[in-house]
């Protein structure tokens, strides 16, 4: 059975404790991961601090060469990374490949770091005096990443942090940790010096050690809202710069003029892709008007019923298992509560068993109709293959429904009406908005981030926002004596 070790200063390191790693399709343990804590974080910080001066002094152009090589390696070995993801997460191979591709986009953006770090220069701000600014790295920074995207989310953080001249400590999810180690090895192969990137595995002990360590300047986090609040509060109290992305309840509004086949297909992919284990998954469909709702349900029901669930090795499968038995049971409890609180269970995915995979963590696609805002399935993030339909009397009701929800990560509207689409994008109080696009994840040269309880901190991840997060501004005002003036000045000179 494989032991997945920490990687500190380029060397493997084990811990006294471990936690199991499962194959979600079979339910069998496939390995164990080292469970680190304060000693391992201390060692990683020491390694990162030792590597920082030389890496920060490396020119942006040379750092960009590492990014270009990492991009090449991600393309060449994307299939290998995807197989590792599927084996521990359970998502379909094509979905895992897509994850790697989206992470690659951020590496491509980081290739432009010489341009992105350019400062501004103002000559003659006063007589004989110039002013200019620089963006300089913070030092040692850390990332705490979730199970649902074991390659993509680390690749949202690492390329920009490293390209800006920082050294990095990654604490991946202990549920599917192998992708992080593989990425570490690829970075080394791309030319990253030892100690610039370190991987420490573990649970809460490792997280708390990161948040408390005085040698870590900034922390990036992606996960649930309760943990995001915790990370932000504890990390900020320790004087760190923190960006903590939390949960979501993403709505897709279906207007009466929408192409319902297009909308239904979009809901299938956005609601059930990756078994709904995505912070940008659409978990709430909001058809406007009873006629629209009835027609949408009529199109969704047979699609959900025929959704093919299977292991990643099944090329025809559209959805895989959930990541753990405990998470599968938690999602089932949400379906139970929805039925108990009065939702109409149109398609019930509970109790799914697959021949030959009876111990896997399976759950079929579930469709709930006539969900109301008071129900638990509407208020809380489910993170599973459960789509709730909340019927809205009017467009205004739909906008009000979304704007009143505490989560504000992503949303979308499906319509042929340009006026409605523009009004929606202007008035909706959500960080990422799609128009006839069900999962509006920004491309790598824009930035990702929700609003309200979906994010804590003032910066989104990747894109231009990440340059500001991973650097600090220094402004220089310079005057070179020319011999033309002498004597002390006690006031600002004329400009």
Which residues are catalytically annotated? 279
What is the rounded distance in angstroms from the CA atom of residue 390 to the CA atom of residue 297? Answer: 11
Length of the chain: 495
Calpha distance 349→64 (Å, rounded): 47
**Pairwise CA distance, residues 115 & 94, whole Å:** 34
CB 93 within 8 A of CB 83: yes
The set of residues, in sequence order, having a beta carbon less than 8 Å from that of 478 and lying 6+ positions away, is 129, 130, 131, 132
* DSSP state string for 207-250: HHHHHH-TT--EEEEES-HHHHHHHHHHHHHTT-EEEEE----E
Query: d(Cα 158, Cα 186) in Å, to the nearest integer?
Result: 12
132 - beta bridge partners?
Answer: 121, 476
Mutual orientation of helices 60-76 and 178-190 as an angle, nearest 10°? 130
- A 10 A CB-CB count for 422 gives 11
Strand order of the β-sheet with 366-369 is 344-347, 366-369, 386-389, 282-287, 250-254, 410-414, 432-435
Taking alpha carbons only, the member of 369, 359, 450 closest to residue 410 is 450
% helix / strand / coil in the chain, to the nearest 5? 40, 25, 35
Instruction: Name residues whose C-beta falls within 8 Å of residue 24's C-beta, 6 or more positions apart in sequence.
Output: 88, 89, 90, 320, 321, 322, 323, 324, 360, 361
Two tokens at 171?
């604490």
Nearest-angstrom CA–CA distance, 463 and 107: 10
Rounded (5°) CA angle 172-159-192: 90
Packing angle of the helix pair 395-403, 418-427 (nearest 10 deg): 20
């Amino acid at each position: 059975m494989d032991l997945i070790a920490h990687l500190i200063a380029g060397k493997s390191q084990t811990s006294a404790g471990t936690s199991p790693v499962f194959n979600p399709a079979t339910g069998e343990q496939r390995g164990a991961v080292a469970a680190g804590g304060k000693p391992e974080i201390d060692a990683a910080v020491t390694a990162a601090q030792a590597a920082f001066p030389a890496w920060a002094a490396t020119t942006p152009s040379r750092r960009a060469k590492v990014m270009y090589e990492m991009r090449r390696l991600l393309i060449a070995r994307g299939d290998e990374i995807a197989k590792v993801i599927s084996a521990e997460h359970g998502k379909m191979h094509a979905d895992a490949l897509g994850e790697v591709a989206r992470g690659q986009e951020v590496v491509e953006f980081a290739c432009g770091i010489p341009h992105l770090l350019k400062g501004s220069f103002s000559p003659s701000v006063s007589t004989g005096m110039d002013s200019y600014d620089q963006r300089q790295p913070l030092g040692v920074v850390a990332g705490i990443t979730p199970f649902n995207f074991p390659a993509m989310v680390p690749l949202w953080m690492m390329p920009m942090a490293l390209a800006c001249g920082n050294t990095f400590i990654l604490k991946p999810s202990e549920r599917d940790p192998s992708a992080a180690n593989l990425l570490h090895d690829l970075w080394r192969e791309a030319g990253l010096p030892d100690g610039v990137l370190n991987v420490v595995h573990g649970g809460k002990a490792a997280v708390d050690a990161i948040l408390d360590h005085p040698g870590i300047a900034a922390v990036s986090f992606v996960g649930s809202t309760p943990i995001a609040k915790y990370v932000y509060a504890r990390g900020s109290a320790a004087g760190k710069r923190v960006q903590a992305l939390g949960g979501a309840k993403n709505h897709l509004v279906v207007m009466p003029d929408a192409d319902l086949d297009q909308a239904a297909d979009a809901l299938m992919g956005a609601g059930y892709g990756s078994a709904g284990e995505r912070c940008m998954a659409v978990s709430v469909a909001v058809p406007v008007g009873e006629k629209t709702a009835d027609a949408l349900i009529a199109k969704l029901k047979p699609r959900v019923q025929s959704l093919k669930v299977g292991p990643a090795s099944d090329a025809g499968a559209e959805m895989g298992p959930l990541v753990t038995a405990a998470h599968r049971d938690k999602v089932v409890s949400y379906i139970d509560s929805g039925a108990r609180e009065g939702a109409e269970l149109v398609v019930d995915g509970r109790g799914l068993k697959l021949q030959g995979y009876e111990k896997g963590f399976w759950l079929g696609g579930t469709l709930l109709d006539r969900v109301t805002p008071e129900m638990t399935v509407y208020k809380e993030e489910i993170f599973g293959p459960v789509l709730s339909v909340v019927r809205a009397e009017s467009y205004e009701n739909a906008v009000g429904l979304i704007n009143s929800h505490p989560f504000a990560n992503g949303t979308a509207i499906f319509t042929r009406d340009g006026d409605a689409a523009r009004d929606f994008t202007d008035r909706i109080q959500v960080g990422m908005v799609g128009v006839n696009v069900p999962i509006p994840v920004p491309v790598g040269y824009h930035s990702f981030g929700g609003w309200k309880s979906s994010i804590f901190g003032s910066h989104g991840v990747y894109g231009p926002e990440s340059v500001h997060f991973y650097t600090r501004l220094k402004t220089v005002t310079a005057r070179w004596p020319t011999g033309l003036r002498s004597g002390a000045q006690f006031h600002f000179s004329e400009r």
